[in-house]
Amino acid sequence: MNKRIFVACILALTGLGLTAQSKKDLMAEVNNLQSELEATKTELVEAKKNAKVSEAQAASYESQLAEVQANNATLLTNLNNFTEQSNQKLDNLSGVMETLRKKEEELKFINESLTSNDSISLIVLTNFKQTLGESANIGVEKGAITVIMPYSSLFDGNGNTTKLKGNADETIAKIASVLKSNPQMIMSIENQTAETSSYASVLAQSGSLITAFGETHAIPSDRMILTRTTNPSNTIRFKIHPDFNSFYLQLRQNMKK
């Protein structure tokens, strides 16, 4: 009986010991779990904090990106406007340069033409002096080389008829030779007569000269111009000058290019 009681006591103490040990282990496990839970909570809080920071950074990046895109759009618009204005200015400048080029060509044409005419006029003046002699009444008047002769040296009857003198043809031939040597020039035959002289008589005398130059010395009619001025000197002025009508026509055509 006592032996049974002893065994029972031993078993009871052993059970209590095991229970105490299990409780201790359980408490340790609980503490570990509590520590892990706290660590997990801490990590969760940190993760949430990091998530908020990331969200804030993402929002900031999106805002910056939107601002950059807006700035780029504005910059692109300004660049397009600047390019368009630059193209317009370039077009305007090209137009101005083209206008200046045309003006330069016109001025060049005028300058070359005037220089050429001046050179030819000098040649004509020299030719006249060599052909007619230094004693001839030769001069320069408004760009034309003039040979002034009284009616009496060309026409019979002291210049009162339309018939040319016999020695007049020699003078006409010399003038015609100079005109032929300078095909760029034309000749104006200017009758300077008294106001009382009739147009019929002036025209008849001019016709005699035209016939002599044209039929006898083969000067084309389109290279001769007849004019009359009222002057009591009763002289004939042979004016050799450039074809100004042709010059102006060429100038107009040059300006239209």
CATH of the domain at 123: 3.30.1330.60
What per-residue confidence (pLDDT) applies to 2? 56
Chain centre to alpha carbon of residue 82: 21
- Specify if 118 maps to a domain: yes
Alpha-carbon gap, residue 128 to 130, rounded angstroms: 5
- Cβ pair 184, 120 in contact under 8 A: yes
Return the closest-CA partner of residue 242 out of 97, 124, 90, 89: 124
Q: Is residue 3 part of a domain?
A: no
pLDDT at 5 over 60: yes
Does residue 82 belong to any structural domain of this protein? no
Maximum average pLDDT range among 25-29, 91-95, 131-135, 171-175: 171-175
Q: What is the pLDDT of residue 220?
A: 92
C-alpha atoms less than 13 angstroms from C-alpha of 234 in its C-beta half-sphere: 15
Query: Residue 139 pairs with which residues in a beta bridge?
Result: 146
Helical (H) or strand (E) element with 147: strand 144-150
Establish if 95 belongs to a structural domain: no
**Mean predicted lDDT score pLDDT of the chain:** 76
pTM comes to: 0.53
Residue 227 lies in a domain: yes
Average pLDDT over residues 132-153: 82
178-214: per-residue pLDDT in tens?
Answer: 888 888 888 889 888 877 777 788 888 888 899 999 9
Full residue range of the structural domain in which residue 215 is found: 114-255
Asked if the structure places residue 102 within a domain, the reply is no
Alpha carbon distance 108, 65 (integer Å): 61
pLDDT single digits (tens) 11-51: 565 655 556 667 677 777 777 877 877 887 787 787 778 77
Q: How many CB atoms lie within 10 A of CB 128?
A: 21
Domain count, the chain: 1
| Residue 156 pLDDT exceeds 80 | yes
User: What pLDDT, on a 0 to 100 scale, did the predictor assign at position 255?
Assistant: 59
Separation of first and last alpha carbons in the chain? 148
